[in-house]
Chain A
Amino acid sequence: MSAQDVLVLVETRGGAVADATFELLAAARELAKASGGEVLAVALGAARAEELKAADRIIAVDDPLLADYSPEPFVAAVREVVAAEQPRAVLVGSTSIGWDVGPLLAARLNAPLATGCQSVRLEGNDLLATTSFCGGKMTAECSLKGAPAILMMLPGCCRPSEETGKGAVEQRKPSAPLAAGAVAFQEWIYPEAGDVDITQQNVLVAVGRGIQQQDNVELAEELAQSLGGAVAASRPVIDQGWLPSTRQVGKSGMTVKPKCFLALGISGAPEHVEGMKNSELIVAVNTDPNAPIFDVAHYGAVADIVDLIPALTESLQKR
């Protein structure tokens, strides 16, 4: 225990540690180097400690009420660890759980909170965060007064690192059994196997006329599967009846804001761009180097998507 430690709230997806947690651990490692403290990973319920070697200490807290998710037991469990460890900072993801636990913890500890953190650092004794707000149209340099500073990190804040810590695992039980509170978990609901809601996807593989033939849509489906996303399309593809209209992006279709929009063989007509321009990351591939899609894309490549899509799928599967 040290007032210079950096604590990370671990999250899981389908039993495995979530990608976002590895980013938090990497960010925490940088902070801990500056503070001279250790990286503490707090895993509630069933996180696999062996995946958390990037931390120096893995504090695994177990209680029946931590098996799924309810806010009160989670906040109480984290609060107890924070009280015991007195860390300099607590790193939380900008996730469904993070948006509950981060601010609730800050409220109860009267601790400073910064949301939308792109990066965090220590300068002397000051904990500073660069945060993004107003839909990414503005950044702020913030300093947080007091400890622990609660930092809600944006996805992509830090590249997961290979660096490992001491990896010591401590199993703990809450000092008293956790109380369910007024908000009680009932059940998980998984999406029905109907058509995909493209507005709810993190990754969209969007195809335009460059897909050329109906058969090629299958290639895009494979790519979307490897990315855990869905296939969307511009109007010409929908018009051909190659995909249902629920997949159309643009003025007369859906407006989407995924974390990543792959615009494949889409020229970038304004009608289409209107529906996807606010995506967090846009990667465009088109045979026409002057296609307007490259004006809104962050990354672009001039290539034939019928060749590129299988190459992408292969490259993903090799990882």
Chain B
Amino acid sequence: MAPPNGDKGTALLEKLSRIDSGKPPFGCMQCGLCAATCPLGPAMEYPPRKLILQTIAGNLDKVLTSPSLWMCVACYACSKRCPRGIELTEELWPALRDAAMQEGHQPPAELQETFQNVFKYGNVLGKSPRQRLQWAKDLDVRVLDLSKDPKPVDVLWLVGCYPSYYPRNQGVARSFARIMTELGVSWGILGTKEKAVGECDRMFGEEGLFETLVEQNRQLFDEQDFGKIVVLDPHAFRALQSFYPRFGAWYPVQHYTQFLEEYIEQLKPLMVKPVEAVVTYHDNCCVGRRCECYDPPRELLKLIPGVKLVEMSRNRDDSLCCGGGGGGMWLDAHIVANGGRRLSDERVQQAADTGADTLAVSCPYELSRFEDAAKVTGLEGKLKVRDIIELMAESMDLGERSIA
């Protein structure tokens, strides 16, 4: 049966029938678990269940023009809950968004700007590529810039856009450089040549942009001799682990929590300073819910003397997304304008409810999202937001001098 939207519907359904992960949406039995678990579902015109229903019925014009198409923040809750194993987050939503843009429907303005920044400058912030090494200025450990000085290394560290440019995250990058050096890791970076990995572009359906980045990054990576890639950004981890291989670009990759966990015995004696804090950890969606890697970050936090680890009621696979995933960083205004909740505001409240004074994170987006949320919800001064790297570096006496 031909779908009502003719060729474009056929093309999309055909694409969805040969998706790379999970099952195609045609097996949906409309149980609605996806919509029930979606944190932004109540505000969506087409929450996941209706999205599938309309898509397979071929009612694409409705779906592709709805503001709710741009409200998914890639938290993976629906994919996780689906009893039929349908991969909504990584397949259905991106495919529909791609189809919308191909039809000439405009994505929200902030997202357009982010795409353009990545296309033009190779970073989401629209900063000069030449200033990508700014974070390492006057750093007290040696930074091997492989783009200038190619040498075999064990670890190719992709610093990431936020840690490279964003002042709040630059200290995390510096601390991670110190920790790796302290551990005697042989590591290098791509310096000013490094580019965004492109996960948010892929998740938001900018497939041509993602493909461009894969080509560019692949060329950069293949010029180097390294054992594995280590990233600070869980989104970059997921993209390199799952999306790059689809283009034949396969590289061993670890999120930093996974990487550091392998050094746990070596790290133990290095934790010399107690960090007196009641800490609760926020599981990010990519490394957490999607890849079910829940223990390494907690093991790292437990290493730190003085840290008392407490859990939020929603943790691990039930963690509440910060709302910044896969491009959500640039959709706050769109989501709120369309009646969505501010997930980060709720999440910091959940953290505070545990009695913790510190919310530990392991994703570059979350520092600014949660600090901003703490300000708005009146938790500023009561709840500190710190990357696990910052807490570890403090205990190793390798931290930034001026961390508030």
Q: Do A and B bind each other?
A: yes
Contact of B372 among A245, A248, A269 (CB under 8 A): A269
Which of chain B's residues has its CB closest to A248's CB?
B333
B376 touches A239 (CB 8 A): yes
A235 touches B376 (CB 8 A): yes
Chain A residues at the B interface, C-beta cutoff of 8 Å: 209, 235-236, 239, 245, 248, 251-253, 269-271
List residues of chain B with CB within 8 A of the CB of A271: 368, 372
Counting from the closest, the 3 A-B pairs by CB-CB distance are A252-B332, A252-B333, A239-B376
A236 touches B110 (CB 8 A): no
Given contacts A236-B375, A269-B372, A271-B372, A245 and B168 within 8 Å (CB-CB): no
A253 touches B375 (CB 8 A): no
Contact with A along B163-186 (1 / 0, CB 8 A): 000111000000000000000000
Contact with A along B187-220 (1 / 0, CB 8 A): 0000000000000000000000000000000000
Interface of A is mostly: helix
List residues of chain B with CB within 8 A of the CB of A251: 110, 330
A245 touches B336 (CB 8 A): yes
B337 within 8 A of A: yes
A209 CA to B332 CA in the complex, in Å? 19
List residues of chain A with CB within 8 A of the CB of B332: 252
Which of chain A's residues has its CB closest to B333's CB?
A252
Interface size class of B (residues with CB under 8 A): 10 to 19
B337 touches A235 (CB 8 A): no
List residues of chain A with CB within 8 A of the CB of B372: 235, 269, 271
B110 touches A270 (CB 8 A): no
Contact with A along B371-383 (1 / 0, CB 8 A): 0100110000000
B375 touches A252 (CB 8 A): no
List residues of chain B with CB within 8 A of the CB of A209: 375
B166 touches A270 (CB 8 A): yes
A270 touches B167 (CB 8 A): yes
Which of chain A's residues has its CB closest to B114's CB?
A251
List residues of chain B with CB within 8 A of the CB of A236: 375-376
User: Nearest Cβ distance between residue B348 and chain A, in whole angstroms?
Assistant: 13
B330 touches A252 (CB 8 A): yes
A245 touches B333 (CB 8 A): yes
Instruction: Provide a sorted-by-A list of 6 A–B residue pairs whose CB atoms are within 8 angstroms.
Output: A236-B376, A248-B333, A252-B110, A252-B333, A253-B333, A270-B368
A270 touches B375 (CB 8 A): no
List residues of chain A with CB within 8 A of the CB of B368: 270-271
Known contacts A235-B372, A245-B337, A271-B372, then 8 further A-B pairs from the complex at CB < 8 Å, ordered by chain A residue: A235-B376, A236-B375, A245-B336, A251-B110, A252-B333, A270-B167, A270-B168, A271-B368
List residues of chain A with CB within 8 A of the CB of B168: 270
A209 CA to B374 CA in the complex, in Å? 13
User: Nearest Cβ distance between residue A299 and chain B, in whole angstroms?
Assistant: 23
List residues of chain B with CB within 8 A of the CB of A252: 110, 330, 332-333
User: Nearest Cβ distance between residue B68 and chain A, in whole angstroms?
Assistant: 18
User: Nearest Cβ distance between residue A74 and chain B, in whole angstroms?
Assistant: 36
Interface residues of B in 342-373 (CB under 8 A from A): 342, 368, 372
List residues of chain B with CB within 8 A of the CB of A269: 372
List residues of chain B with CB within 8 A of the CB of A235: 372, 376
User: Nearest Cβ distance between residue B306 and chain A, in whole angstroms?
Assistant: 28
A236 CA to B166 CA in the complex, in Å? 20
A236 CA to B376 CA in the complex, in Å? 6
User: Nearest Cβ distance between residue A187 and chain B, in whole angstroms?
Assistant: 31
A187 CA to B332 CA in the complex, in Å? 40
List residues of chain A with CB within 8 A of the CB of B342: 239
